[in-house]
Structure 1
Amino acid sequence: MKHLFKANLNWNSKQKHELSKKFYSKTHQIKVEGKSILDVSAAKAFKGDPSLYNPEDLLLSSLVSCHMMSYLYVCSQNGIEVLEYLDNAEAILEVNPDGSGRFVEVKLFPKVKISNPDQIELALKLHQKANQLCFIANSCNFPVLHNASCEVF
């Protein structure tokens, strides 16, 4: 089964954040039908507006969110009641001398609280299964690592 996703990008050279004739503004809008407009720029390191989301933020956010949803799915399949899920993820981006670059690693640090102390070991193991199911992680060409913790609430 295939699913189609669409996004519309809107940018023009007359935007108010024009830096100079030498540099183009990186600020633009992305619209997905039926959803709020997302204002996006480059990361501050790449002369973007640091107050806006950038593609790197969005990629990392997609991985964190997708992993959590996959994890909640496998926990429900295994009868684990998850009460809380927190993550403080990190991504490493390498930039080459020619200006190209890529993510080389993402680390997720999920902290999960569950209701049953007898399920802690299984709850930790299920992060591997969640990673196998995660659509976004499966689309990446870099490792997505997990340093998970679990406690009873």
Structure 2
Amino acid sequence: MVPPEERAPAAPAAAPAPTPQSPAIDSQLLCLVVDDSRVLRKLTRRVAEGIGYTVLEAENGEEALTRCARAMPALVITDWNMPVMSGLEFVSALRAMPGGAATRVVFCTSNAGARDIHQGIEAGADEYVIKPFDEATLKAKLASIGAA
């Protein structure tokens, strides 16, 4: 019998492999796109994926909060005017969540007034893009906050 002090250390247990039901997601590269327009979610998804993000989608702020509770994204690109819970309410709630303060947030909205922009920034947005927008504008805004 080998004394305990002469035994080789046990090999570390291997981490369980992700299952198809719960894929591993690198939250550093996770982007949540929140918009009630499927067309705009698709456009925004294309931009975020093009700069290396894994993208999840939500149709409203309530659904977005549920997704954030499961996996806090590094980046959120959200509309303001949505059913169930507005983007403004969502961003305020996101900022109060554990880890939510570190998430970069960009509003993409048709609310173009100076007061709207001020409200969005006060709620916790890092940047503001006015609809309609093109891919180059969104990429530039993401780069300005270090998210591209």
**Larger relative strand fraction:** 1
**Larger relative helix fraction:** 2
TM tier, smaller? under 0.3
TM-score (structure 1 length as normaliser): 0.26
TM-score (structure 2 length as normaliser): 0.27
